[in-house]
Amino acid sequence: MNNVVAQLQRQFHDYLVSLYQQGFLDNQFSELRKLQDDGTPDFVAEVVSLFFEDCSKLINTMSRSLERPENVDFKQVDSGVHQLKGSSSSVGARRVKNVCISFKECCDVQNREGCIRCLQQVDYEYKMLKTKLQDLFNLEQQILQAGGTIPQVDIN
Amino acid sequence: MSLFHVVEFCLKIGQLFWMLCCWLVSWLIDDKSPLPVGSVGDPDKTKMKKNHHHHNKMCFFWNKISTSGFKIPTFSLHPVRFGKNWWKKVVVAWVVLWVLISFWTFCYFSSQAMDKRKETLASMCDERARMLQDQFNVSMNHVQAMSILISTFHHAKFPSAIDQRTFSEYTDRTSFERPLTSGVAYAVRVLHSERKEFERQQGWIIRRMDSFEQKPVHKDEYNIEALEPSPVQKEYAPVIFAQDTVSHVISLDMLSGKEDRENVLRARKSGKGVLTAPFPLIKTNRLGVILTFAVYKRDLPSNATPKERIEATNGYLGGVFDIESLVENLLQQLASKQTILVNVYDTTNHSEPISMYGSDVSADGLEHVSPLNFGDPFRKHEMRCRFKQKPPWPVLTMVTSFCILVIALLIAHIFHATMSRIQRVEEDCHKMKLLKKKAEAADVAKSQFLATVSHEIRTPMNGVLGMLHMLMDTELDVTQQDYVRTAQASGKALVSLINEVLDQAKIESGKLELEEVRFDLRGILDDVLSLFSGKSQEKGLELAVYISDHVPEMLIGDPGRFRQILTNLMGNSIKFTEKGHIFVTVHLVEELLDSSDVETSTSTENTLSGLPVADRQRSWQKFKSFSSSGHRSFALAPSEINLIVSVEDTGVGIPVEAQSRIFTPFMQVGPSISRTHGGTGIGLSISKCLVGLMKGEIGFSSIPKVGSTFTFTAVFANGMHSSERKSELHNNNQPILSEFKGMKAVLVDHKPARGQVSRYHFQRLGIRVEIVSGVEQALRFTTTVNIILIEQEVWSKEADVFIKKLQKDPLVHSPKLFLLANSIDTSISDSLRNIIDPPVLIVKPLRASMLAATLQRGLGIGNSETSQQKGPPALILRNLLLGRKILIVDDNNVNLRVAAGALKKYGADVVCAESGVKAISLLKPPHEFDACFMDIQMPEMDGFEATRRIRDMEEEMNERNKTGESLTVEESNRTRWHLPVLAMTADVIQATHEECLKCGMDGYVSKPFEAEQLYREVSRFFSSPSDTES
């Protein structure tokens, strides 16, 4: 039994580290994890799901704005990107954040093509992250169910 | 005449001089054409130099010549070269010239004197001759007059009017008129036919004279009767009248005497006065001359023939001149008869002149001959005069010429000495230059060699050390390990020595460059201190550091080299100090200059260990930047920090005689030093070079047996440019400090200087320290302070008092007791054992990290908390935020959630608002919130606008409060509404920050939250719970 936990824990650890290494996540995510304690056991999951909800919402809005080739409401797109950027950096979704930065640049110069491309990328990235984190949370659940504790992962 | 002489003299000198000059120059030129080149190396250069040199000399010479106003017709000076020793010839020529001149002067002046002497002699002689001649003429004239008298009264009258008696009477009475004659006599001409008649008439016979002339007799024995009668002659001339003085000649036949006869015959032939050669007079036997005049029967015409004259002759008048007495008389009449010697000669017979007067002295020396004319053309006389004395030595002339010579020789000597000196100096200088070049080359070679060799040695040494290290990891027995360790230690020592040498070489060859890195000065000093702490504790020395608060936390420079300097200086101090203290101070130069007056007043008691020290100020007295004229001369750029660092010790000091070579490489105070203390003596030299590279200066003052103080300055760039950075550093480097913030301590130390330093270290940790001098005073603070610090010395003296007091009145919340000690002394630990709650020992040197650790251990905080991963700020933050009601405003759900989570974690009561409008409604006073975190970029209403609105509302409320319209008691409690509003923003641009402040925000935190930043901002508004409780 213990063996299973240890294996799961190692798996969890490796997976998390790979996420960091592949650049999906950054330090802020670990900060976020630090904020989770006994009082708020699902803090990270909560925040992350909030983030993903936001993402899908915002991406929808922005894609609608960018749909019509003429008369694009860049202002609206910009505020969306800003929101997205803010949340992504808060969560520590590094790749999303990086795309947001270039997205914002395209937006500033009112480059619709670029914006659409970035939008697609953001969509792709956040979905990617979503599945990854989903896996991570599943692993977490498994560990907890196996009666183990979630190991501290130090990236530095 | 004299003017003429002077002119002539000048011309002569000029000519002589000019000839000599020409001769000299031509000699020099001729001689010098083959130039002897003395130097071996670089002959072209030396030649050129020499040419130049000689040209100068030539010009000088030429000037001299041309200024003298002469022209040299055949002289070409251009290609002339002089040898090295041209001046020696000049000296010789000069000496020769002046010897000649002085000799010539001597001759000239003596000839001058001789001429004058001759002239004097001539004039005197001539004068005498003329007088003699005049007087003789007067006498002669008178004798002639007497002849006329006789012809008138004897022959013309018959019977004769004159007889012997009248004649003698008359002549006696008129003898004054003939001063030169001693007697006069008259002889009458008697023919043989008339002899008988005459003899009868006169009553005596004519006697001949020559017989007694041949055998002169004395006057007394003279007997006229004994004379023979004159033999038969054709005629006779017997004397008939005679003056009494010569009366013995009466009846003598004048013609019978040889001299007289000639005289008589000549007289009657010429009709003039005739003189005899000088002969010894009869009777007196003195030299005399007889003057004879003929008396004629009638007056004969002047052109009468001799025959007629003989015919007409009646008789002969003769006068006897006594020349000797005459001249004698004459000379007596004249002055200065002493000075000259007069001789009178009859020179009728030229070959053998007859001396008439004067002693016959050998005729050397000066003589003047004056001719005498006594009116007898047949006879010639002359007067010869000589000076009685030899001419005096020409002292003046001799002295003059001698002086000239001496002066000339002196000048020559001076010239010679000067020139030889110059030559010697030039030679020396040349030698020195060569030596200097050699030395410099050697120095460069040495540095090069050192650099190369050091580097070459280092490489294999690293191999050796590495291998040793690996060897240590293998399985060795104890002895082997010991060997290896020793080998490694030796190797390391060797490498460090080589590094030092390499440094020196690098610096000397100018290859060393300093780094420009940001570093923490205090950290470096702490490091260095810990390096030496072991040794200082071992020796029981007090080791302390004080860094002025004006020195910035971070500097830009080369920390390694700075450290090296400090290590060198402190290493020396530790080495040479057996008791007392070593005290390192760091100040800004400006600070010291401003307070220099205060610094000087440090008395002996005011030092760290109470021992006297060398005056620190004297160590930097010689610094250029400190000189009074340039008091503010070091115009530093505002970002530059000029530090002055002093290392003060109470060691043996540096002997005065060694102080000058302290900074010379490889120079130690004495050979014994290296034996007792080791070291290469290169450290200070390197330090000096390094300080130089840091644009600073190094100096020291040292009193033997008292101690030394080394001081150096160094210029660094300020590493703190903005407050933002500063805060960052705070967080990164000194997390430990915050733990103790707000604590209070009392320090018991009777030495204010030491107390100050200790206090400085505790204040770095944020602990407020009061210094008291005694334990009694300290006990008053027991209720208000967290820590009591006691200096070891005080403790050992007053421990009992303290313990008693504590035992009597044990305090539940008694502050923790700490002892400050230089070393872990057994006696102290013994004394501590007796106490229930033993004080914690803090072993000096004090440094931040060690101090913090000890305090943590002692106070029982630290350990539990530091083990938590969140770090110390988290703890404080929790204290600060616990129970605070905080509003977070953000339109982004995720951000809101994260921020809330973060703040909740620290125990805050968090309320969330999604928009600015909602926030305003929540913050409408009165409300319960302690703080608000506001996102800036929000749709509808951004953070700035929201904050402005909030501030407006607060202002309104405050106005109402002021006017007394407060509604509830609770409201009036909060006399003034001002909610801390902190911006949350992702971009940390300065402009945003400023805008935040402008619209009434109190600060900002960057998203995402970081504990340290959050803490820093929050702590500005919330005082710690402990403060509020108390």
Sequence length of chain A is 156
Residue B178 clears pLDDT 50, i.e. is over it: yes
Residue B426 clears pLDDT 90, i.e. is over it: yes
Encode pLDDT of B573-629 as tens digits. 888 888 888 888 898 888 777 765 444 444 555 677 667 777 777 777 777 666 544
Contact B1019, B980 (CB under 8 A): no
Encode pLDDT of B472-509 as tens digits. 878 888 888 888 888 888 888 788 777 777 777 777 76
* B48 touching A (Cβ < 8 Å): no
Residue of B503, B394, B397 lying closest to B450 (CA atoms): B503
- Averaged pLDDT, B527-540: 81
Query: At CB < 8 A and 24+ separation, what contacts does B689-692 make?
Result: B689/B503, B689/B504, B689/B507, B689/B508, B689/B512, B690/B507, B690/B561, B690/B564, B690/B565, B691/B565
Q: Is B407 helix (H, G, I), strand (E, B) or coil?
A: helix
Residue B803 clears pLDDT 50, i.e. is over it: yes
More confident residue, B550 or B414: B414
| Confidence at residue A10, expressed as pLDDT on a 0 to 100 scale | 84
Q: Report the percentage of chain B scoring pLDDT > 70.
A: 73
> Which of A35, A94, A155 would you mutate first to test chain B, the one with the most B CBs within 10 A?
A35
- Averaged pLDDT, B802-818: 64
Encode pLDDT of B84-101 as tens digits. 678 888 888 988 998 898
Min Cα–Cα distance to chain A from B556, Å: 28
More confident residue, B408 or B444: B408
Alpha carbons B319 and B246: distance in angstroms, whole number? 10
| Confidence at residue B46, expressed as pLDDT on a 0 to 100 scale | 40
Encode pLDDT of B653-670 as tens digits. 888 887 877 777 766 655
Helix (H) or strand (E) segment spanning residue B804: helix B792-808
Across the interface, do A86 and B892 touch by the CB < 8 Å criterion? yes
User: What are B185's strand-pairing partners?
Assistant: B242, B318
Half-sphere exposure of A80 (CA within 13 A, CB side): 24
What letter does residue B393 receive in the DSSP assignment? Answer: P
| Confidence at residue B283, expressed as pLDDT on a 0 to 100 scale | 63
**Range of B52-56, B728-732, B977-981 with top mean pLDDT:** B977-981
Q: Which residue of B has its CA nearest to A35?
A: B902
* B583 touching A (Cβ < 8 Å): no
Residue B809 clears pLDDT 70, i.e. is over it: no
| Confidence at residue B783, expressed as pLDDT on a 0 to 100 scale | 67
Min Cα–Cα distance to chain A from B917, Å: 18
Residue A133 clears pLDDT 80, i.e. is over it: yes
* A90 touching B (Cβ < 8 Å): yes
Residue B425 clears pLDDT 90, i.e. is over it: yes
- How many secondary structure helices (H) and strands (E) does chain B include? 33, 29
Residue B971 clears pLDDT 80, i.e. is over it: no
Give me the helices (H) in B387-517, please. 395-473, 478-508
B419-423, B484-488, B727-731, B767-771: segment of lowest average pLDDT: B727-731
A vs B: CB pairs below 8 A = 60
More confident residue, B58 or A64: A64
In this complex, the residue of B897, B904, B905 whose CB is nearest that of residue A50 is B897
Sequence length of chain B is 1030
Across the interface, do A32 and B898 touch by the CB < 8 Å criterion? yes
Across the interface, do A39 and B904 touch by the CB < 8 Å criterion? yes
Mean pLDDT of chain A: 83
**ipTM of the complex in this document:** 0.81
Structure tokens at B815: 């502050």
Across the interface, do A90 and B870 touch by the CB < 8 Å criterion? no
Q: Burial level of B333, CB count in 10 A (0-12/13-18/19+)?
A: exposed
Q: Which of residues 818-877 of B touch A (CB under 8 A)?
A: 869-870
| Confidence at residue B210, expressed as pLDDT on a 0 to 100 scale | 59
Min Cα–Cα distance to chain B from A12, Å: 21
* B1008 touching A (Cβ < 8 Å): yes
Alpha carbons B396 and B526: distance in angstroms, whole number? 94
Encode pLDDT of B94-125 as tens digits. 889 988 988 998 899 888 888 888 898 888 88
Residue of B417, B356, B363 lying closest to B381 (CA atoms): B356
In this complex, the residue of B897, B935, B937 whose CB is nearest that of residue A47 is B897
| Confidence at residue B873, expressed as pLDDT on a 0 to 100 scale | 57
Residue B840 clears pLDDT 80, i.e. is over it: no
More confident residue, A35 or B41: A35
Across the interface, do B894 and A28 touch by the CB < 8 Å criterion? no
| Confidence at residue B326, expressed as pLDDT on a 0 to 100 scale | 74
Mean pLDDT of chain B: 74
Strand spans (E) along B566-680: 581-588, 640-649
Residue of B747, B696, B462 lying closest to B569 (CA atoms): B696
Structure tokens at B658: 């060694």
Min Cα–Cα distance to chain B from A25, Å: 14
pLDDT band, very low/low/confident/very high, at B834 (cuts 50, 70, 90): low
Non-local CB neighbours of B622 within 8 Å, separated by 6+ positions: B697, B699
Residue B429 clears pLDDT 90, i.e. is over it: yes
* B323 touching A (Cβ < 8 Å): no
Residues from chain B contacting residue A79 (CB–CB below 8 Å) = 939
Give me the helices (H) in B635-670, please. none
In this complex, the residue of A39, A43, A82 whose CB is nearest that of residue B937 is A82
In this complex, the residue of B869, B894, B939 whose CB is nearest that of residue A90 is B894
Q: Report the percentage of chain A scoring pLDDT > 90.
A: 0
Residue B847 clears pLDDT 90, i.e. is over it: no
Q: Is B787 helix (H, G, I), strand (E, B) or coil?
A: strand
**Range of A55-69, A89-103, B7-21, B409-423 with top mean pLDDT:** B409-423
Across the interface, do B901 and A47 touch by the CB < 8 Å criterion? yes
**Residue in this structure with the two tokens 């018959």, named with its chain if needed:** B158
More confident residue, A121 or B8: A121
**Range of A52-66, B318-332, B582-596, B888-902 with top mean pLDDT:** A52-66
* B618 touching A (Cβ < 8 Å): no
Q: Which residue of B has its CA nearest to A42?
A: B901
B3-17, B219-233, B286-300: segment of lowest average pLDDT: B219-233
- Averaged pLDDT, A53-80: 83
Q: Which of residues 91-150 of A touch B (CB under 8 A)?
A: 91-92
| Confidence at residue B410, expressed as pLDDT on a 0 to 100 scale | 92
What letter does residue B950 receive in the DSSP assignment? Answer: H
The model carries a pTM of 0.40
Q: Is A148 helix (H, G, I), strand (E, B) or coil?
A: coil
**Range of B435-449, B611-625, B997-1011 with top mean pLDDT:** B435-449
Question: B278 preceded by cis ω (within 30°)?
Answer: no
- Averaged pLDDT, B858-869: 47
Across the interface, do B891 and A83 touch by the CB < 8 Å criterion? yes
* B635 touching A (Cβ < 8 Å): no
Residue B63 clears pLDDT 50, i.e. is over it: no
Min Cα–Cα distance to chain B from A148, Å: 21
Across the interface, do A31 and B1008 touch by the CB < 8 Å criterion? yes
| Confidence at residue B48, expressed as pLDDT on a 0 to 100 scale | 43
| Confidence at residue B433, expressed as pLDDT on a 0 to 100 scale | 95
Residues from chain B contacting residue A86 (CB–CB below 8 Å) = 892, 894-895, 935, 937, 986, 1007
Residue B885 clears pLDDT 60, i.e. is over it: yes
Q: Report the percentage of chain B scoring pLDDT > 90.
A: 3
* A40 touching B (Cβ < 8 Å): yes
Contact B600, B617 (CB under 8 A): yes
In this complex, the residue of A28, A50, A89 whose CB is nearest that of residue B893 is A50
Helix (H) or strand (E) segment spanning residue B325: helix B323-333
Across the interface, do A86 and B986 touch by the CB < 8 Å criterion? yes
Across the interface, do A89 and B986 touch by the CB < 8 Å criterion? yes
pLDDT band, very low/low/confident/very high, at B436 (cuts 50, 70, 90): very high
- Averaged pLDDT, B400-404: 89
Non-local CB neighbours of B175 within 8 Å, separated by 6+ positions: B181, B243
pLDDT band, very low/low/confident/very high, at B431 (cuts 50, 70, 90): very high
Across the interface, do A83 and B1008 touch by the CB < 8 Å criterion? no
Query: At CB < 8 A and 24+ separation, what contacts does B76-79 make?
Result: none
Helix A43-67 and helix A112-145, axial crossing angle in degrees, nearest 10:
160
